[in-house]
Amino acid sequence: MSIMSSSEKINFILVSLFLLFLYSCSKDKDDPVNNPDSNTIVEITGFTPQKGTKDTEVTINGKNFATTVIENTVKFNGTTATLTSASATQLKVNVPEGATTGPITLKVGQFPLVTSDTDFMVIHPPIISSFSPDSGLTGTEVTIQGQNFSEVTGDNKVRFGNILVTEFITTSTTKLVVKVPEMAVTGKISVTVNELTAESTDNFTVIGSPNIIQVSPNQGIVGDVVNITMENAGINPEDNEVRFNGVLAKVDAVDGNVITTAVPEGATTGKVTVEVNGQIAESDVDFTVTYPFKTELDKLLAEGGIAGDIFGHSVDIDGDYAIVGGPSEEGSNIGTVLIFKRNGESWSVHKKLTVDEVIPDDGFGSSVAIDGDYAVVGAPGVDANTGAIYVFDGTQNWSQVQKLTANDKEIDDFFGYSVDISGNYIITGAMRDDVFGSNEGSAYIFEENGGNWSQIKKLYGNLNETDLFGYSVAIDGDYAVVGAQLDDENGFNSGVAFIFDRNQNWAEIKKLAANDGTNTDFFGTAVAIDGTYVIVGAPGHDHGDMLVNDGAAYVFENQGGNWFQINKLTAQDGVSNDEFGSAVAISGSYIIVGAPKKDELGNNSGVFYAFKVNEGSWNQISKVSPNDSQEGDAFGTAVALDGDYAIIGAMNDDDQGQNSGSAYIFKK
């Protein structure tokens, strides 16, 4: 083995270095990155995908790329991207943070910058910041606020839960207004744009369409309480609009899915509807609206009646018996009174009441009353208008058992002008009694003891001349009420009424006057009492300047021993000169009021109105006129009510001659 000398080693090293230098120079000449020449071109021929979000991997195709990552600089519209791989014909990069839509540029070593022919679309995902309302029915408009929505409606896919929206109202990059789609359910709202989806943080509550399951009861009268069982009722009363055959009703309460309402005035038979947020539910069957006292059972006429009898001038009813007075029989003011009896639903003459001593001008039958086994008839014209009342006993075939007169009777007192009976007490008015002044008026209480009736009290008020205290009277249980239609309490002839208490020796305990009383109201023309309610008619009351003498009736209630006005009743269709309030009656939950001059089926043909109490308020439920009503009948001159039956006088009916008169029986 030979050993190289030092000089030989040096020469070997120098030759090796020289050969390495020559090789290196040869390689640099062939590298287009470091030694570009005019024949080498860097080119971007395309990229995929054409759009994407941050961090989307994009493949750039072309030629003469650097094969090392670091020697290629890629930018998305000026924002530098990170390469993940490189070859001479393909680069892979990720869309950088902050990139915007625009061209892709590439810088390879010393080669010139190249730019893509088309833009890369940088997609920003949609963002839902809020929506309102947060609940609603199918079809409710919902506003979705956010970012990165598309202005092109079709590019936005909005879903409620997994149900796609089909109706757009407004479309912009920051706001979408859509309608809740059919079949939507409670859940998140999502918006998908360019296959990117944003979802709301909170749920949208889909309220199902309202549906009426049951209406109970399915028939009733105005004012009756009705419960409507629903699916998807509104939460609050004001959220539900209830109608009875189109007539709006007040919603009193909502308990879960049960709506409590009442049959409204003016309602007629038909479907019940409930509207909730624009969605309407309709009952499967009709709700039948009934109108009490619309059933006319019988027309009552006087036996042998003739012109001028004015039969029906006075009426009353109790149980199976009704009594009708006509104070001008045969035109001589002798008067006639008949008792009618019910057999099934038919009423027929049972007894004609007679008094041997009655003579012309006595006015027998000017007032009548019946209760239990007793009937009472007023004859204010007896003995030169001194007046008397006659008591008849049903246990004795309705024969006269007593004639009653005032202990202090005087001519022209008109004792018996008005009369009423309750149990073993009778009250009668002497409206022209000169108590402390001319025609001031008075009333008398009689009590039955052992079959004998005797005067126990004379009633009068602190009044003035011509007040006509006693023009009307009524009695029930412990209380009596007396009207004085010409008192000037609230103006000339405004009228008042008084209440007397049996437990205080029939002392006056309350003077009643209308809260809005005024001149010529004639408050007190008619009075009625039942339990805790007193009704007073004011047929001359005016409603403003346009309605004159259309009339009113006032309801007073006993509240803890004191009487307060709680309602003013008027006719819904009242017009001038109807004289609503000329006659009044009450029984239980019902009041009827006569308007004998109402031009319903001819001038002064007359009607009566029925009212029912509902939670302390009295509402009109019926307007009634007879089937054969004609001009001038004055139907409603007198009214009486007991339980299911009402009797109404039409003293100027002409069936048996001009103004012969009649009365009608109606059933509730």
Contacts of 258 (CB under 8 A, 6+ apart): 227, 228, 229, 230, 233
What pLDDT sits at residue 616?
A: 84
- Cis ω before 360 (30° cut-off from 0): no
* pLDDT score at 38: 55
pLDDT computed for residue 331 by the predictor: 54
pLDDT class of 207 with cuts at 50, 70, 90: confident
CB 322 within 8 A of CB 665: yes
d(CA 452, CA 447): 8
Which pLDDT value is given to residue 304?
A: 87
* pLDDT 10s digits, 63-119: 999 999 999 999 999 999 999 999 999 999 999 999 999 999 999 999 999 999 999
User: Both tokens of residue 653?
Assistant: 């009916």
Residue 14: band (very low, low, confident or very high) from pLDDT cuts 50, 70, 90:
low
Q: What whole-number percentage of the chain has pLDDT above 70?
A: 94
Residue 23 banded pLDDT, cuts 50, 70, 90: very low
Which tokens hold the place of 187? Answer: 């859940």
- What's the order of all strands across the beta sheet hosting 367-371? 367-371, 374-379, 388-393, 399-404
- Which domains are seen in the chain, by residue range? 43-122 (2.60.40.10), 127-207 (2.60.40.10), 211-289 (2.60.40.10), 295-620 (2.130.10.130)
- 27: pLDDT strictly greater than 80: no
User: How far is 611 from 574, CA to CA, in rounded Å?
Assistant: 15
pLDDT tens column, 349-365: 999 999 978 788 899 99
Q: What is the mean pLDDT of the chain?
A: 92
SS3 277: coil
pLDDT value for 220: 92
The predicted-structure confidence for 390-417, as pLDDT tens digits, reads as follows 999 999 999 999 999 999 999 999 999 9
Distance CA 12, CA 9 (A): 5
pLDDT score at 17: 56
Average pLDDT over residues 178-190: 93
Checking DSSP bridges between strand 114-122 and strand 51-52, what pairing results, if any? Answer: parallel
- Dist CA 289 CA 269 (whole Å): 5
